[in-house]
Structure 1
């Protein structure tokens, strides 16, 4: 089994983290490659890293059986985007803040290595979104596609169609089209529902709509979405996973549907999705218990 390590080299402790993980993998005689983006820090390498094999991203993905993403949820989303056509499972090591997608910290990942070797883990398929703008520019997202007003101070007009059936036209700051994976991201902050990853649905959550009756809408992932976005400013902002953003002329016609290829995430059998929710969102935590400590 070969592991491919994709690090976020902007993280403060990334060198130390890679050294710890490399040392642990070598204890188990596991083969691995490190993305050659790490070579930008070569002057800071210890002897442990100087003896490692570094490959360009695409070659690393092609030659690896499992991809290890080291950074945070943003790094995980970027890794998933790079792996989208290769059908390789991804494991996330979190050095960031929240860590919904990047399940492990460094210590728990070290403990997980024997499970990798014995294949004692679960592969979870997560749906992704594909689409286009004006039948030209391609869109792809694991979390969400966000259509908004951009730098324009006023609201934009949004028309929604589902499978060519007209749904509504309303004014808002924008709309979020989210997968179950993305339901705990931006969509959640706008009042959207939390959707379990095994659900085959897509959520449409308006951003600050001008009418209080315009609420989040959950549809089947087999349905196709058409959004017509218009702005008096003449421009529409569209971003995928908060990482790939562009400005388009108004009106813009955005077409979105479920990708035929899922993203594969490898999870520990000792942790459930609901345990992650409890830990990350502090469900069941009685804040009254902490008042006496203030």
Structure 2
């Protein structure tokens, strides 16, 4: 078992974090390789990091049995884009804020390393989205969501939705979010979209600030194809993929979106489940009045 480590080198104390992760892996006699972006800090390396192997991120992904993305959800989404072509399973160690997708922190990862050693973990295949703009041969990819919006302009855009060639609606809005179940707890959730279990084969459409009360989020089968026709009073329309990769297209724009043939493979501890993460990270289903009362009684 070889573990690939891809860090976000912009994170504070990243050298100390990677040193701790490497120490945990070596304690379990697990082989590892680190992305060579860390060599920027070689002057700060302890002996254990000096003795480690470094490769370009492409080779880390290609030759590893599992990839550890170190940073936060944004870092993990960036890594997922690179991992996607190789089908290498990956997990995230969160040293940022929420860390919903990157479910491990350093403490829980230290326990998980023992599970890796004993092959006691779960690999979950997550649906991804593929999109084509204006009939181009270039395919766009997203694990969380594809956002089509007005960009920096103040005027709303006009969006027409078709599903499997069937007309759905035309409306004006700031934009629309097309999300996977994985992305349902991200930007889509903040616009009133539903939380969707990652085991559901579904695609959600969540309008952003629609200028009508009759437009609401829509849940579709992942086997359906979504076709969006977008017009803007200004020249450009923005498309954002996972909040990571942004492009601008001339208006009018046609976007065809479907389920990608390639899933993203995420690694999870066998001791946790999706709903536990929902409760712990988003406090879903928890009565804050009860929690606050308990805190008041303690103090």
TM-score, normalised by the number of residues in structure 1:
0.97
2-structure distance, mates of 1:226, 1:262: 21
2-structure distance, mates of 1:10, 1:286: 35
Query: What secondary structure sits across from 1:10 in the alignment?
Result: coil
**Residue 287 of structure 1 pairs with residue 253 of structure 2:** no
* Structure 2, unaligned runs of 5 or more: none
2-structure distance, mates of 1:141, 1:87: 14
Partner in structure 2 of residue 270 of structure 1: 271
**Residue 227 of structure 1 pairs with residue 256 of structure 2:** no
Shift in CA distance, 289/22, structure 1 to aligned 2, threshold 3 Å: closer
Partner in structure 2 of residue 98 of structure 1: 98
Q: CA deviation at 1:287?
A: 3.3
Partner in structure 2 of residue 132 of structure 1: 132
1-structure distance, mates of 2:216, 2:24: 49
2-structure distance, mates of 1:138, 1:152: 26
Tell me which stretches of 4 or more aligned residues in structure 1 moved more than 6 Å. none
Greater alpha carbon shift after TM alignment, 274-283 vs 241-250 = 274-283
**Residue 54 of structure 1 pairs with residue 54 of structure 2:** yes
* 1:64-143 matches, cutoff 5 A: 64-136=64-136, 137-143=138-144
1-structure distance, mates of 2:155, 2:28: 58
Q: CA deviation at 1:138?
A: 2.9
Quote the RMSD (CA, aligned, Å).
Answer: 1.3
1-structure distance, mates of 2:103, 2:255: 33
Query: What secondary structure sits across from 1:17 in the alignment?
Result: helix
2-structure distance, mates of 1:289, 1:247: 45
Post-superposition Cα deviations, 1:187-215, rounded to whole Å, max 9, x if no partner, equal 00000000000000000000000001100
Query: What secondary structure sits across from 2:139 in the alignment?
Result: strand
Partner in structure 1 of residue 163 of structure 2: 162
Q: CA deviation at 1:268?
A: 0.6
2-structure distance, mates of 1:6, 1:222: 33
Q: CA deviation at 1:286?
A: 2.3
Q: CA deviation at 1:289?
A: 5.0
Post-superposition Cα deviations, 1:47-68, rounded to whole Å, max 9, x if no partner, equal 2211110001111111100011
Q: CA deviation at 1:41?
A: 1.7
* 1:182-201 matches, cutoff 5 A: 182-201=183-202
Partner in structure 2 of residue 12 of structure 1: 12
TM-score, normalised by the number of residues in structure 2:
0.95
